[in-house]
Structure 1
Amino acid sequence: MGAKFTSGYSGTPLSRKLGIKPGFKVKLVDTPPEYRSYFNYFPEDIHEVENSTEPVHFIHFFATEAEVLTLELPPLKQQLQQDGMIWISWPKKSAKKETDLTGNIVRHIGLKHGLVDIKVCAVNEIWSALKFVIPVKDRV
């Protein structure tokens, strides 16, 4: 059974919304310090990859600037397993955090880098997220 954290933003556990499964190798990029408090359940046996380029199943990248996202996305895509996922989070307008990102801008940057968005998620009252994957036709 996974570790218990404070309650999430909605009735659906965030780990389920994001598709985090036991045994996954995950990479967390620029996450807020309180990231794990967003989860009411976090699967055990998750292997967090920090300073490595080893392939991962799941990446969660928190961005506030389009320029940073544009620069950091290509190496993250290279680290992604062919059937893996990258969640890109940006602050909601209602959060009143300084950002030049919107869902449309995040989508455009992902598409420009050869990814497709397949799901949107409200992480919490501050962050939204888009799920990107490598298109099936482009997987090797």
Structure 2
Amino acid sequence: MRTSKMPGYSGTPLAKKLGVKAGTVIASINAPKDYTQWLAPMPEGAGHRTIAIAQASADAAVIHWFGTERAALAEALDPLGRAIFPDRALWISWPKRASKV
């Protein structure tokens, strides 16, 4: 797979910055369409899947939630918090104000 660098991003692979380890899964919710490409290269045996908020309790070691509205984040926090307890990671991303999204 060809790696695609995320616009404006440093040289460190996104998967590494997010803490994705070999043999683990990162799950994304509401991710941009190019997100899988942004994750490349992934550690050996690591994988990515897109899930719905209701599936957040799956076996992913890292969950990455994307949103644009504060109300959606407030609604998502409780199920996401339960999904990552006690030893998983959660990343929350939203557009910069300058993006006008």
Letter in 2 for 1:7: K
Q: Please report the RMSD computed on the Cα atoms of aligned residues, expressed in angstroms.
A: 2.1
Letter in 2 for 1:72: A
Aligned in 2, Cα 1:93/1:50: closer, same or farther, shift over 3 Å? closer
Give the conservation status (yes or no) of the 8 Å contact 1:4–1:42.
no
Aligned in 2, Cα 1:36/1:25: closer, same or farther, shift over 3 Å? closer
Q: Does 1:78 align with 2:79?
A: no
Give the conservation status (yes or no) of the 8 Å contact 1:60–1:87.
yes
Q: Does 1:34 align with 2:34?
A: yes
Aligned in 2, Cα 1:10/1:39: closer, same or farther, shift over 3 Å? same
Give the conservation status (yes or no) of the 8 Å contact 2:15–2:39.
yes
Task: State the percentage of identical aligned residues.
Answer: 34
Task: State the TM-score, normalizing by the size of structure 1.
Answer: 0.58
Q: 1:7 aligns with which of 5, 8, 14?
A: 5
Which ranges in structure 1 are unaligned for 5 or more consecutive residues?
Answer: 98-140
Aligned length: 95
Per the alignment, residue 87 of structure 1 pairs with 91
Task: State the TM-score, normalizing by the size of structure 2.
Answer: 0.77
Letter in 2 for 1:89: S
Distance 2:23 2:50 in 1: 12
Where relative contact order (Cα < 8 A, 6+ residues apart) is larger, the structure is 2
Which structure features the higher share of strand residues?
A: 1
Give the CA deviation at 1:26. 2.5
Which ranges in structure 2 are unaligned for 5 or more consecutive residues?
Answer: none
Greater Cα radius of gyration, structure 1 or 2: 1
Give the CA deviation at 1:49. 7.0
Per the alignment, residue 66 of structure 1 pairs with 70
Give the CA deviation at 1:43. 2.5
Letter in 1 for 2:81: K
Give the CA deviation at 1:62. 0.4
C-alpha offsets along residues 89-117 of structure 1, whole Å, 9 cap, x if unaligned? 010122221xxxxxxxxxxxxxxxxxxxx
